[in-house]
Amino acid sequence: MKNISIFGTSSDAGKSTITFVIAKILQDLGVKVAPFKAQNVSNNAFVCDDGSEIAVAQYFQAGVLGVETSYHLNPVLLKSGRGNSASLIVEGKVATNKDVREYYRDLDSLKPAVKRCFEYLDSKYDCVVCEGAGSPVELNLMDKDLSNIFIADEYNTKIILVADIEKGGVFASIYGVYHLLPKKLRKNVIGVIVNKFRGDMTLFDEGVRIIEEDFNIPVLGVLPYIPFNLGFEDSQSLKNYVQNAKESILKVGVIAYPYMSNYNDFEPLIADKNIELEFVEANISLEKFDMIILPGSKLVIKDLRWLKEVGLFDRVLNYKKQILGLCGGYEMMFEELQDNELIENDEETIEKGFSFIDDVICFEKDKTLKKGSYNLFACEIEGFEIHHGQSSKYPLSFEKENIKGTFVHAIFDNDNLRNKIFLEVNKNYKEFNFSKHKQNEIDGFISNLKDRLDVKKIMESINE
């Protein structure tokens, strides 16, 4: 059975969602399937079952499929670093910090890791669905493209194009990408999925005819725009969330600093009709909020300095209602943050924190990567840790009066803890089952799109 590559005809075409939709449809037909992305660029990461670190998109896709998570699903991950550098994570572990130009210059050295991971999955599964990155035909970068051209060429994958009609220029993007692909890969294109269509879909019947008859590219489906508030891969997708706040009784403010990370921590709150969630990016009054959350951060000291520069530091400092810090936000709550190992900064750095907690944070070279069960705020929960900062007095969490903080991510996914926290804020809070909601959303989303896809043609193509 052939493997599949999902290529976008532009960035943000919907490759991540189409990847898990196609993979789940195949799985339901009896195919043993796994998701894969050779290289991802994201500050949003999860800890896997094997204790490694991968991008959230592949972790989420694996969750939809119910397959074990490991670094094989995303062998190369780039995260924001200091200056022009990026934190390079290879096979689930931090390898080094590299200048972006240096990274591209040394790209060939990463290909063995990509091949090891892909071939491992290929040996275990009938079909690997490989998510591409951006556009596959950036001509100046095609020789440096691990996720698209390298995988498709090296392993002769079948290719599905995904085009975002919402952006405009859909015909040019489909025609251009198809004809700029190397001839060998063009022959492997199964067809194109036109994604994010709004309105009366019969209005695109002529468009389908043009693509199929004039371009000679099969159309595998025209998919409607459906809001999907799960699996946020980046800050842009986070800002596009759709929330129904008509029934809300709580206003929660999340301080969205420039290097905010782990946006998925807030998916349960976006889904919860009790809560109106707002991301605060400017120096506004915080008094309208019933609770403030300091989220995770890839560059904690830089984000802490940003809070001071824009004036939000003093607003948080003087806020008297509930404040919750998560990972990087938790670290900001301490008296002092010390980066003597140059983890985030070019020189040894000490920065004053909010001093809500009577200890200091020391950034250590060895990153804590842990997934498992925790006893947190008198609740048994599942979550994960991913941080360089360490506290000797409060290594996991802190709670006193209106201040709560923890290194643990995904705490709101646990209904017991989420319900406890918000009942303390407002006794009229109505308990919400997020796990059930999440499964219903995924099932409904896939079902809606499955009926609009030419599944038969896809199956025939990978069985050739």
pLDDT digits (tens, 9 = 90+) for 273-288: 999 999 999 999 999 9
Grouping H, G, I as helix, E, B as strand and the rest as coil, residue 75 is coil
Confidence tier at 100 by pLDDT (50, 70, 90): low
Average pLDDT value for residue range 209-231 = 94
Instruction: Name the residue with higher pLDDT: 145 or 397.
Output: 397
The model's pLDDT over 38-51, given as tens digits with 9 standing for 90+, comes to: 999 888 899 999 99
Grouping H, G, I as helix, E, B as strand and the rest as coil, residue 379 is strand
Q: What is the pTM of this model?
A: 0.91
Confidence tier at 139 by pLDDT (50, 70, 90): confident
Q: Which of 436, 440, 445 is nearest to 25 (CA)?
A: 445
What does pLDDT average to over the chain? 93
Q: Which residue spans within 83-139 are E strands per DSSP? A: 85-90, 93-99, 127-131
From residue 133, alpha-carbon distances to 15, 57, 150, 345, 457 in Å are: 8, 12, 11, 29, 24
Identify the pLDDT of residue 243: 76
Average pLDDT value for residue range 62-91 = 88
Residue 166 pLDDT exceeds 60: yes
Distance CA 24, CA 34 (A): 9
- Please state whether beta strands 4-8 and 158-164 pair in parallel, antiparallel, or not at all (unpaired): parallel
Residue 160 pLDDT exceeds 80: yes
Q: Which of 181-185, 237-241, 433-437 has the lowest mean pLDDT?
A: 237-241
Q: Which residues make Cβ contacts (< 8 Å) with residue 167, sequence separation at least 6?
A: 10, 173
Confidence tier at 454 by pLDDT (50, 70, 90): very high
Confidence tier at 425 by pLDDT (50, 70, 90): very high
Identify the pLDDT of residue 86: 75
For the chain, helix, strand, coil in percent to 5 are 35, 30, 35
The model's pLDDT over 258-314, given as tens digits with 9 standing for 90+, comes to: 999 998 999 999 999 999 999 999 999 999 999 999 999 999 999 999 999 999 999
Identify the pLDDT of residue 12: 86
Average pLDDT value for residue range 24-52 = 95
What amino acid positions are annotated as catalytic residues? Answer: 327, 409
Contact 446, 65 (CB under 8 A): no
Confidence tier at 79 by pLDDT (50, 70, 90): confident
Confidence tier at 233 by pLDDT (50, 70, 90): low
Q: Which of 18-27, 105-114, 203-212 has the lowest mean pLDDT?
A: 105-114
Identify the pLDDT of residue 98: 66
Contact 134, 11 (CB under 8 A): yes
Tokens of 441: 């959303």
Adjacent-strand bridge partners of 326: 406
